[in-house]
Structure 1
Amino acid sequence: MKEHLGKPPILSKPTTGEVLSLYLEVSEHAVSSVLVREENKVQLPVYYTSKCLLDTEMRYPQMEKLALVLVVTSRKLCHYFQVHSIQVLTNHRLRQVLQKPDTSKRLLKWSIELSQFDIDYKPQIAIKGQALAEFVAEFMGVPDEAKVVGGPLKWKLYVDGSSNDNDFGAGLVLHTPEGHKITSAVRFEFPASNNEVEYDALLAGLRLTEHLKVEAIDIFSNSQLVVNQVKGQYQTRDEKMAAYLKKVKKALEKLTAYDIQQVSRAENSNAEALARLATSNDAELLKLVPVEALKAPSTKGKLKVMSMSCQPSWRDPIIRYLVDSELPEDKQQAKKLKGQSLAYKVLRKGYYWPDLKKEVAEYAKKREGCQRYALIPQQHSEDLTSIVTPWPFAKWGIDLIGPLHKTPGGYKYTIVAIDYFMKWVEAEPLTTISEEKCIHKNFFSIVYPQSNGQVKAMPKRQLDSYKGKWADELPKVLWAYRTTSRTTKGETTFSMGYGVEAVLPVEISIPTSRVIWYEEGVGMVS
């Protein structure tokens, strides 16, 4: 110890082209880093950096603090980062977090800033030489040899499932060794039996413990079947139960120590209340605990994609670079591959702005060369809406004309309906214009009846000219209107509706000008 303390570490000068290693450390109030070089299998420090966290930075998530210390180091030691390749030694998924396209704006900005340097991320296997002691326990607390004899502290997990006629759910209560309580409710969006719900509740709890990296746990459930099948005291004859049990045992193998016990419903009341909350229709309104949704049973396997060809392809280096940031050993090929990114090309030109990657992605979506071989969606962006206006006898405009001269039958008004497409007219005389009489008039299949200025094609003064006889003359007027060609289209409304022209029997024996000057397929000719 005295010999070690008598030889404090001295800062070392790196040589040109040498690869430097970087260690990162995050504490509650500060972040620090050390840049080292290796000589004769001994690590020598090049420079140290540290930063006291501000009040807002103390509330960053742990991974953002780790990215923060990397950015701070690159700014303070910019001359080292520009000349040397940097290897960041960490056991955390810092590279994946910085390269996520849907990451936060803060991380996206830092990622673009760091992209100008040659940074590689490698797992921290061992620390040799004079590295700081805090890097030994990076994110992992005290080392294994300093742990309390007797194994890791046990957590406690209470699970319960609930099912009724239409809703299924589970409640989870996880107690930490420090006495904290984590609650969660899961809603199952598939039908299941009582035993299947209990198994899914247990698997949901085990997924939660795996996410929190729990090593030892005591599990409590009020399901006698599930507890005894997991312990091996009950046989499993049903295929579904066997599949669930296999899934549970596979999840339990990841724990260093576990125990499962059956408890009464009174002891498991908290988990039972959460399970009932998950099956309640008011779960979204309560907002007491997070309610997650499980789309399919836990035993339902994921779809597997079978590779049809495993032969080497020119795309393999590109895929390895995009997925794992693995570059070819040939420096020229690595430089060429790295330069294919449009964002890197912009950075090499000396330009940078915070939304660089986002705008590059939007530009690639609009550029013809980037989208030439893209999949073209065939589905319409919006639901199709039927247009009934061009359908014959499908849409009508209705209006009332009157008051007119009173006829012997007591008629004073007429209701007129005109087809929107063919301009076919229907009309009937009315004594009064009460609601009942107007609604129950039957004009073929009237859809969307509404008043329209087109019904004024039969003016009031034209009917008034017949005075008290207008009701008797109305059918003749309608017949003349239907069998007279329109100047706009050269066809009669009768021929447009039925495909043939209508003539009176007398016009066969005594031809009229309308019959004489009519040519089939052409209409009236001059």
Structure 2
Amino acid sequence: MEKLVLALLHASRRLRRYFTGHVITVLTNFHIGTILQKPETSGRLAKWAIELGGHNILYRPRPAIKGQVLADFITEVPAGKIKECEMIETPKEDTEETWMLYTDGASNEDGAGAGLRLVSPEKHEFTYAIKLDFKNTNNEAEYEAFLAGLRLAIKMGAKNLRAHVDSLLIASQVNGIYDAKGEVMALYLEQAKELLQQFKSHKVIHINRSENKPADALSKLASTSFQHLAKDVRIEVLKNPSVLLHQVNVIEAGQPSWMTPIIQYLQEGVLPENKAEARKIQNKALQYEMNNGILYRKSFLGPLLRCVDPQDANYLIREIHEGICGIHSGPRMVVAKIMSAGYYWPGMHVDAMKEIRKCDSCQRHSPKTLRPKNDLIPRENTPAFQGGSNHLQGPPQTERETGWPPYT
């Protein structure tokens, strides 16, 4: 009862504006109002009763929920919709041509193995044992057995497949209940989904280990010793996993830039046909070196500077000048920051000055200069004050006529 009163107290504190300005009706099947109004109430209930007594609260019994739900359902779903739902028939599964697959994998100190049992619609069984000759975990061995069973079912021409696995992880990941954590598990899951798409219908069911004893025995037998097996058990040795653990992205070569002749000379020894250009490339190549296919410029005391093409150079200038941490600094500071970050290309100062001049913010918020655009000309250099002028031969002119004060 104290918990119920405490919940009501928290509601009144959170919704104080509504409790103070309106009549609050509390629907409950407990006698909260009677208990709070008892004179013998003491302790915390007495304090809470005093605080709740400042609000206009009415306690009423909760009405029946079942009748309300039926009324809402009748108003929301018309009679015509019910008839349409009754006309829809659920599709029946073609159990006559369904293949049954039972797989299991085992990994221990002696080795790793996989076992599978494929049952045809005519109740013909195909047993198969696989020895995994590479390092793997128990979950990876379970996936290898599952993938081998799918490949075998595809070769047998199965269209409808019902796979039974005793690994809850594989069943949950394939059915979308669990997410694949780790790159290896994600690759195995992707490979399993690609193989399952080749079936007309498929279903992956998790079963107990006791229901998968034949496949479990095959996997343990293949993982320990497989020299004295029966002749009807086929054994295959896998040297490599079924998925590519190391994926390589395709890298597209960029357009020729200032680095192309230097890279060709350092890697292949190719020089231009022009002797002057060839000598220039040979002299420049002394300041560069190749490391893992990337061109770097040597420095006297600092680390190697990675060379970039003009497109990346423009991006670096814009990012440092007006990026998220840019302060719209000048070209000298921008070049210094680029070199401290480990990048280089010839003509850094000129490119930085060209890009910074295009910055709209720097042009709008630059300080106003009061310096005149042209140099000032002193009065002694004007034609009116030169020695050969006709103005000095006549009488002195007034300031109104010449615009200058009279010369004396």
Interval of TM-score (by shorter of Structure 1 and Structure 2): 0.3 to 0.5
Q: Higher strand fraction: Structure 1 or Structure 2?
A: 1
Q: Could you tell me the TM-score, scaled by structure 2's length?
A: 0.37
Which structure is richer in relative contact order (CA contacts within 8 A, separation 6 or more)? 2
Higher helix share: 2
User: Which of these two proteins has the greater Rg computed from alpha carbons?
Assistant: 2
TM-score (norm 1): 0.29
